[in-house]
């Protein structure tokens, strides 16, 4: 069932970027998450005066084309794969918010000490452009101790959505285009950390 607050203005008017940002933040910030049926199809028309879908299951049977080429389903599948591969995302109390030079860029980390499949701890950096209408560029600033790293060190990161690799430090330039990829989900490569 759809609740009256499920379709906020952010989703009504933010387009595909808003749906991607909201899904990525929910999948990485919280150990529990889910999506309402139709989310992956960007159903965004609200009932007048409400934050619920105009044509939801409360009022009619919904026939949906789940095989649509523009579906968000592959993105959600990728996010679920990332969640499965990274035990740090299964925790809530390990979320640390960091600082950016742009209020429209959110950055937080998830870190879990211990040795996992690759013999290293599990650390992730999530950087999101929460402005679904533009490209944002800024510098983000990380407290490396929140990732189990020495202050001032450099380390490798792998972007888990696009597959790109970079060397990062405690301050890093980011450019996130809302219309291509508004969120970085970065895995820290502890083998490349000095």
Name the residue range of residue 65's domain. 9-78
116 occurs within a structural domain: yes
How many Å apart are CA 91 and CA 68, to the nearest integer?
Answer: 33
Strand 171-177 and strand 165-168: the pairing is: unpaired
Residues 45 and 14 both lie in one domain: yes
Kindly state whether residues 183 and 109 are assigned to the same domain.
Answer: yes
Q: Is residue 3 part of a domain?
A: no
Q: Are 152 and 61 found together in one domain?
A: no
State how many domains the chain has: 2
- 56 shares its domain with 13: yes
Pairing state between β 135-141 and 122-129 = unpaired
Element (H, E) at 167: strand 165-168
Does residue 53 form part of some domain?
yes
Predicted TM-score of the model (pTM): 0.89
Contacts of 69 (CB under 8 A, 6+ apart): none
pLDDT (tens place) for every residue of the chain, 194 residues total: 455 567 778 777 888 999 899 999 999 999 998 887 777 776 766 667 777 766 766 767 777 787 888 888 999 999 999 999 999 999 999 999 999 999 999 999 999 998 776 778 999 999 999 999 999 999 999 999 999 999 999 999 999 999 999 999 999 999 999 999 999 999 999 886 55
How confident is the model at residue 1, as a pLDDT? Answer: 42
Are 19 and 101 in the same domain? no
Which contacts of 160-169 are long-range, i.e. CB under 8 A and separated by 24 or more positions? 160/78, 160/82, 160/185, 160/186, 160/187, 161/75, 161/78, 161/82, 161/185, 167/192, 168/125, 168/142
Two tokens, residue 141: 């600033």
Strand partners, 111: 123
Examine residue 39 and state whether it is found in any structural domain, yes or no. yes
End position of a domain, from candidates 21, 56, 78 = 78
Q: What is the pLDDT of residue 5?
A: 61
Looking at the domain assignment, is residue 45 inside a domain? Answer: yes
Do 96 and 158 belong to one domain? yes
Q: What is the pLDDT of residue 94?
A: 96
Q: Are 187 and 98 in the same domain?
A: yes
Could you tell me the CATH number of the domain that includes residue 117?
A: 2.60.40.1180
Q: Are 64 and 98 members of one domain?
A: no
Tokens matching residue 46 = 């609200």
- Report pLDDT for 53: 67
pLDDT at 47: 67
């Amino acid at each position: 069932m759809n609740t009256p607050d499920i379709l906020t203005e952010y989703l009504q008017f933010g387009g595909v970027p808003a749906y991607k940002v909201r899904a990525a933040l929910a999948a990485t910030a919280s150990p529990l998450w889910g999506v309402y049926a139709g989310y992956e199809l960007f159903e965004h028309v609200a009932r007048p005066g409400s934050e619920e879908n105009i044509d939801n299951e409360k009022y009619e049977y919904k026939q949906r084309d789940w095989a649509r080429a523009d579906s968000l389903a592959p993105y959600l599948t990728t996010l679920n794969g990332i969640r499965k591969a990274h035990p740090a995302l299964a925790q809530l109390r390990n979320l640390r918010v960091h600082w950016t030079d742009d209020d429209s860029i959110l950055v937080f980390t998830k870190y879990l000490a211990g040795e996992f499949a690759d013999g290293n701890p599990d650390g992730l950096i999530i950087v999101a452009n929460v402005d679904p209408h533009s490209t944002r560029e800024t510098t983000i600033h990380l407290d490396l101790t929140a990732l189990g790293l020495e202050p001032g060190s450099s380390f490798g990161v792998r972007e888990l959505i696009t597959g790109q690799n970079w060397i990062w430090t405690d301050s890093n330039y980011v450019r996130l285009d809302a219309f291509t990829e508004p969120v970085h989900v970065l895995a820290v490569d502890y083998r490349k950390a000095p």
